Structures are given as C-alpha cells and as structure tokens.
Structure 1
Amino acid sequence: MLGILIQQTFNALTIGAIYALIALGYTMVYGVLRMINFAHGEMFMLGAYAAFLALTLFVGDIGGVGALALTLVFAVAVVGVGLVGVGIERLAYRPLRNSNRLAPMLSSLGVSLSLVTGVQIMAGPQPVAFPSFFPATRIGILGGTVTLVQIGILVAAFVLMAALYVLVNRSRAGIIVRAVSENRSTAQLLGINVNLAISLVFFFGPLLGAAGGILYASYYGIMTPTMGAVVGLKAFTAAILGGIGSIPGAMLGAFILAFVEVAGTALLPVLSGGLLGTEYRDVLAFVILILVLLVRPAGILGEPVSEESMVYKREF
C-alpha cells in the first residue's frame, strides 16, 4: 500500500510540475494585460516540436549524446518558442491593446488555430514518437517505483520555477513587469518602457510553456499538433483554481489539480464498480473549474475585488 502511495504521489508531482509551467504563462499574461491568451496551449505544443526539430538537425541519435548536448537542445527550443511568443504579441496583440477585451481574445483564438494548422501542414497531423530527454531507469523506493524520467522532470520544472521567482522578485526586469502589472498608465508616466515589460512577459510565458511541452512529450513519449488543447485547458483551470494573476497560486493550483486527477483516476473505477474508467480523468479538471467559479471565483490565492476597492478605468 505504501509503495502504491509513493508511486502515485510521484505521478501527481510530475504531472503537476508540467501543469504549473504552463499555468504560469497564463497567469503572467493575465496579470499584466488582464487578457487570457488562448494561444498559450500552442506554445506548449511548439516546444515539443521545436525540441524534436533541434534534435533531428543537431543531435541525431539521442542515445549517443551527453546531458550537455540535450540541455543545449532544450535551451534552444524554449528560447526559440519564447521569441515566437514575442513576435505573436507584436503582430497579433499589440495593435489591439487599446481595444475592448474581446478583440485580443478573438485574436488569440485565431493565432491558436493558425499555429495548429501550420504544424499539421508542415509536420503532418499524425502522432510522432518523442525520445525522452532522461534515461528510463527505474528506482525502487519503499515498495514503489520511480523513474529517472520523473525525477528529471521534477528537477527541471522546479529549477525553472525557482528561476522565474528570482526573476520576478529579485531582478530589475521583474520590478518593471510588476510595476506595469500594478498600473500600466502610472508605470508609463514614471518612464518605464511598457512595451518592453509586456514583451518580457510574452517571452518568459511561452518559454515556460515550451519547457512544459518538452517535459510532457518526454514523459509520455509522444507529441501531436493538437496536444496543447486539453493540456492547455487543464493548465488554465489550474491558474483559475490557484488565483489567476498569482504566480504562487498558479503553481499551487497545478499541483492540487494533478493530485485530484491522479487520485480520481485511481479511485473512479473502484468507487463506481467499474462503470467509470480512467478515461474520465479529464472530466475531473473541468468539474473542479465549475466548482471553483461557483464557490470562489478569485481562486485560492486570488484577491476578491469589491466595488469599493476598484479603481474605475475604461476597459470596454
């Protein structure tokens, strides 16, 4: 029993770490622009395809290269997707920044469909086997089995999340981004380059999403052009669960969602007598989303905003 608990805990932590990386992109964009970037799930998908392309062009057989080469491939892929995110913001979102909220959201939907269709045309719609960046060695812990793939994903994800925390809270770039998030107009009056701050958000958000895509493809061993749809919605659910706009909330919501999903997958067949199988795991995420919106729309770490505390500004 203890071994199963340990194994399922590591499964949940691995999935939660991937969700957290993607959810951070959603929450960063919303925190600065008050906009939901529906194309963010496609940054997750592009990360896997960019890494696969880099492996094909520069490495070849993944079994014959060391950790340094794989780290460089990982870095090239995530930075490349980060630059794609900056380009998308410049072309598709910045011209609509002073429009009502509906316009950039519709634009993000158009970007999402365009990216999926573009990848399907260039790489084909079929699933593609993805080589793992980590060895598939299994380690026994108190009767449970943990793989080096899971440990590698957890280490990589927590390093990236720690780096984001330091960037946001301990660097000049983080101060600029937080100032623009607090009040864009006042930040501009103080001489802060608002466009630069937003570009940084659209660089680091897709970069983290791409990292999540690479780790996800390494974990499951497969990638598809539509892989960002369901996973992106789950990460969005995690961001809302933790409190959209809150970086710690996005991470907390991701791990809560992953633990509920893993526990539900294990318990549903037992509790329903086999009537409900593991295919209902995706339903749990959206049931949680509905419940959170009904009970606490601001999320666990989100701050409820009352009419008395709001500063009026024209948004529609």
Structure 2
Amino acid sequence: MDFLTLIQQCINGISLGSTYALIAIGYTMVYGCLRLINFAHADIMMVGAFLSFFAINSLGLPFIASAIFAILLCILLGIIIDKIAYLPLRSAPRISMLITAIGISFFLENIFNVFFGSTPKFFNAPEFLSQNINIVGISLTHITIIIPAVTILLLIMLLQFLYNTKQGMAIRATAFDIHTIGLMGINVNTIIAIVFAIGSSLAGIGGIFYAVSYPTIDPLMGVLIGLKAFAAAVLGGIGSVGGAVLGGFILGFTEVMAVAIFPNLGGYKDAFAFLFLILVLLFRPVGIMGDWKLEKSRF
C-alpha cells in the first residue's frame, strides 16, 4: 500500500469514525446523567435515516429540508421516549430502565419494519455528495470530507454549550449529582429532556450521514452501528463527550485500516474494532479519557 492510499484510507476511517462519534455522544450524555445505557439510542439513528428517506421520496423535499425535518422529529422522539418510558422509572432500579430501553429499541425496529418493510431501501442523496475530488493525488468524495468537518463543528458547539451556558452547567451538575441539584431549584426532568434532545439530534445527523455514505438503509441498521458507537463511548471513557468523539475516531480508523492492511480479512472488520476495544480496556478499564479518581462523570 503506497503512501497516498494510506492517507486516503486514514481519511475514510476518520469519516466513518465521525459517524460513530455523533452517536456515541448521545450514549455518553445519557449515561452521565442517568447511569443508563440507552439501547434505543441507536434506533433513533435509524429513524433519522428513514425519516429523511421518507421526506425525500414521499414529501418531495430537497435533501437539506429533509435532513432538518428528520432531525427535528428525532429530537421530538427522544423527548417523548424520555417522558413516556424513562421518567416514570426515575426512582426504580436501574435494571428496570435498562429493560425498558431494550423494549423501546425493539418497538422502533418493528414499527419501522411494518411501515417500510424489511427490504433494504436505497437512499437517494444528492450526487454532489458522492462526487469524487482529487487533492494532491488523493481521491475522496465530498461527503468523506463533510462528515468529519461537521462532527468537529458540532463538538465545539456542544462543548461551548456545556461549559458556557446555564443549561450546560445544569447538565454537568446533573451528571455530578442528580439528587442534589433538585434541592437547588433546578428542574431535573427538564435538564434530562434537553440531554435527550441533544443526543437524539446528533443520532439523527449520524443516521443521515451514514445513509449518504452507505446508501442502503433498513430497520435493523442501528443494531451493529449502535454497538460500535457504544464501544466508542466506552473506549473513550463513557461519560466524557470528548472521549466519545475520540473513541469514535479511533474505532472507525481501526476498522478501515484493518481492512486496508489485511484485505483478505475484510469479513472480520467488525472483530478488529472490538478486539482493539478489549485490548485498550485491559490496560485502562475507565477508557482513554476516563478518570480513575471520579466515580461520576462531569463531562
């Protein structure tokens, strides 16, 4: 493999990792506040892809308008899931919320299977996004460059929100001690709804990006992608937004480079990613950006 091909594969890996990172942020924020692994989160990514597909093919909306439509409905869906499924179980054992999250995941997969069918659908994205460009001998598509750029921009915006707004400080306080902040006049349920809204919007964006990059969608597309995004959150240090993004980049990079270096083992690309996760956690169980001293995340 020559140098230019190596650089090209590195960029492809970062692009794939950016999608994992967007989804992983939702996992890590919900876990930070509720100590809950929201297994329904990956299916919101699937919902985002299908809603954009529906808006383009049935409503006749242009791609940008369909993406905004899908993201807004994903935000609404995330808030509704929190209010209906998780809010009544705030004081229940964590296992109850976990089982509920799995149930919501199965519900979303099956309801979209009923409406759209199990046959994979082709996602008709604008040709501009899949057009190739040549940069000093490296051939890339526009979407390969757009995804990491948007991910980094969204990360900067999110960190600015978390550290420079009252709502962001309330989210970090909730992650530190959810019981105490209620005594300080902060509406915990509103703060958690904001967390679900942010996480769901990023999952929707990740779903649209994935559908554009790999233009075939189906109701079960979120299962494996969700596992990888969760692995990225754990790898980076679950509870850390920056760690989730770093974990996503590393996991995507590992997956792509493993196939590039060992093309005969392309069928085992998923195993490479999880093997790397296992190796990291053997030596640093809290993840790359996790803190040994803190039992609770502060983002």
- Residue 134 of structure 1 deviates from its aligned partner by 5.9
Name 1:117's counterpart in structure 2: 110
Stretch of structure 1 that moved more, 79-88 or 287-296: 287-296
Q: Secondary structure at the match of 2:262?
A: helix
Stretch of structure 1 that moved more, 157-166 or 188-197: 157-166
Q: Answer yes or no: is the 8 Å Cα contact 1:4–1:143 preserved in 2.
A: no
Q: Are the structure 2 counterparts of residues 267 and 34 from structure 1 closer, same or farther at C-alpha, using a change threshold of 3 Å? A: same
Does residue 285 of structure 1 match 2:262?
no
Q: Are the structure 2 counterparts of residues 310 and 245 from structure 1 closer, same or farther at C-alpha, using a change threshold of 3 Å? A: closer
Q: Are the structure 2 counterparts of residues 2 and 290 from structure 1 closer, same or farther at C-alpha, using a change threshold of 3 Å? A: closer
Letter in 2 for 1:202: F
- Residue 100 of structure 1 deviates from its aligned partner by 1.3
Name 2:208's counterpart in structure 1: 214
- Residue 133 of structure 1 deviates from its aligned partner by 4.5
Moved over 3 A (4+): none
Letter in 2 for 1:200: I
- Residue 34 of structure 1 deviates from its aligned partner by 0.8
Identity of aligned residues (%): 40
Residues 276-310 of structure 1 deviation map (CA, whole Å, 9 limit, x = unaligned): x21100111222233333322110101124xxx76
Distance in structure 1 (CA, Å) of the matches to 2:155 and 2:101: 25
- Residue 172 of structure 1 deviates from its aligned partner by 1.9
Distance in structure 2 (CA, Å) of the matches to 1:25 and 1:133: 27
Letter in 2 for 1:16: G
Q: Are the structure 2 counterparts of residues 166 and 133 from structure 1 closer, same or farther at C-alpha, using a change threshold of 3 Å? A: farther
Stretch of structure 1 that moved more, 192-201 or 135-144: 135-144
| Larger gyration radius, structure 1 or structure 2 | 1
Name 1:27's counterpart in structure 2: 28
Name 1:6's counterpart in structure 2: 7
Letter in 1 for 2:32: G
Letter in 2 for 1:281: K
- Residue 6 of structure 1 deviates from its aligned partner by 2.1
Residues 143-162 of structure 1 deviation map (CA, whole Å, 9 limit, x = unaligned): 22011121222333233222
- Residue 210 of structure 1 deviates from its aligned partner by 0.9
Distance in structure 2 (CA, Å) of the matches to 1:5 and 1:294: 29
Residues 196-235 of structure 1 deviation map (CA, whole Å, 9 limit, x = unaligned): 0000111110110110000000011111110000010001
Letter in 1 for 2:279: L
The TM-score, its normalising length taken from structure 2, stands at 0.94
Q: Are the structure 2 counterparts of residues 310 and 204 from structure 1 closer, same or farther at C-alpha, using a change threshold of 3 Å? A: closer
- Residue 171 of structure 1 deviates from its aligned partner by 1.7
Name 1:171's counterpart in structure 2: 165
Distance in structure 1 (CA, Å) of the matches to 2:182 and 2:66: 37
Distance in structure 1 (CA, Å) of the matches to 2:295 and 2:226: 30
Does residue 142 of structure 1 match 2:143?
no
Distance in structure 1 (CA, Å) of the matches to 2:52 and 2:10: 28
The TM-score, its normalising length taken from structure 1, stands at 0.89
Q: Answer yes or no: is the 8 Å Cα contact 2:22–2:151 preserved in 1.
A: yes
Correspondence list, 1:1-316, <5 A: 1-59=2-60, 69-133=62-126, 135=128, 136-269=130-263, 274=264, 277-305=265-293
Q: Are the structure 2 counterparts of residues 133 and 102 from structure 1 closer, same or farther at C-alpha, using a change threshold of 3 Å? A: farther
Distance in structure 1 (CA, Å) of the matches to 2:295 and 2:103: 32
CA RMSD of aligned residues (A): 1.6
Q: For structure 2, which runs of at least 5 residues remain unmatched after alignment?
A: none
Distance in structure 1 (CA, Å) of the matches to 2:117 and 2:6: 40
Q: Are the structure 2 counterparts of residues 263 and 86 from structure 1 closer, same or farther at C-alpha, using a change threshold of 3 Å? A: same
- Residue 184 of structure 1 deviates from its aligned partner by 1.1
Distance in structure 1 (CA, Å) of the matches to 2:141 and 2:168: 35
Distance in structure 2 (CA, Å) of the matches to 1:134 and 1:294: 44
Distance in structure 1 (CA, Å) of the matches to 2:148 and 2:283: 31
Q: Are the structure 2 counterparts of residues 195 and 5 from structure 1 closer, same or farther at C-alpha, using a change threshold of 3 Å? A: same
